[in-house]
Amino acid sequence: MDGPGKQRRAGSWWYLLLLVQFVAVLWPPFYNRIEPSWIGMPFFYWYQLLWVIIGAVLTAIVYFTTED
């Protein structure tokens, strides 16, 4: 079960990437506004939907750069 320890430790800084999405979506003053709107959708809505995608990409990056 136990893999080589040095590989697992390498790249663990990548985990910090996961913090980015916490800051981006848990601070409403960043995005509680109408403009700039996109295809008629207020900023508040499309910003948070966009972060779903960015969050998934960040998590995928951490998945590929770290070992379990």
Partner 1 sequence: MQDVNWTALTIFVLLFAFITWLGFAAANWRRGDLDLLHEWGLGGRRFGTFVSWFLIGGDLYTAYTFIAVPALAFGAGAVAFFAVPYTIVAYPIFFLVFPRIWYVCHKHHYITAGDFVRGRFGNRWLALAVTVTGIVATMPYIALQLVGLQVVIGALGISGTGLFADLPLIIAFVILAAFTYSSGLRAPASIAIVKDILIYTTAFVAVIAIPIELGGFGKIFAAVPASKLLLATPGPNTTGAYSAYATLALGSALALFLYPHSLTGILSASSGRAVRRNAALLPGYSLMLGLLALVGFFAIAAGVAGLPEYAAGFKQFGNNFAVPALFLHSFPSWFVGIAFAGIGIGALVPAAIMSIAAANLYTRNIHREFINKNPTDQQEAQMARWVSLIVKFGALVFIIFVPTQYAIYLQLLGGIWIIQTLPPVILGAYTRWFNDRALLVGWATGIVAGTSMSAAVNLTPTFPLHFAGHTFPGYTALYTVILNIVVAAILTPVFNARLAQRTPLDETVASDYHA
Residues forming contacts to partner 1 in the complex (CB under 8 A) are 1-3, 8, 15, 18-19, 21-22, 25-29, 32-34, 37, 39-42, 44-45, 48-49, 51-53, 55-56, 59-60, 62-63, 67-68
- Nearest distance in Å: CB 35, partner 1: 11
- Nearest distance in Å: CB 5, partner 1: 9
Please list, in sequence order, all residues whose beta carbon lies within 8 angstroms of the beta carbon of residue 46, skipping any fewer than 6 positions away: 37, 38
Please list, in sequence order, all residues whose beta carbon lies within 8 angstroms of the beta carbon of residue 13, skipping any fewer than 6 positions away: none
Q: How far apart are CA 31 and CA 9, in angstroms?
A: 36
- Nearest distance in Å: CB 2, partner 1: 5
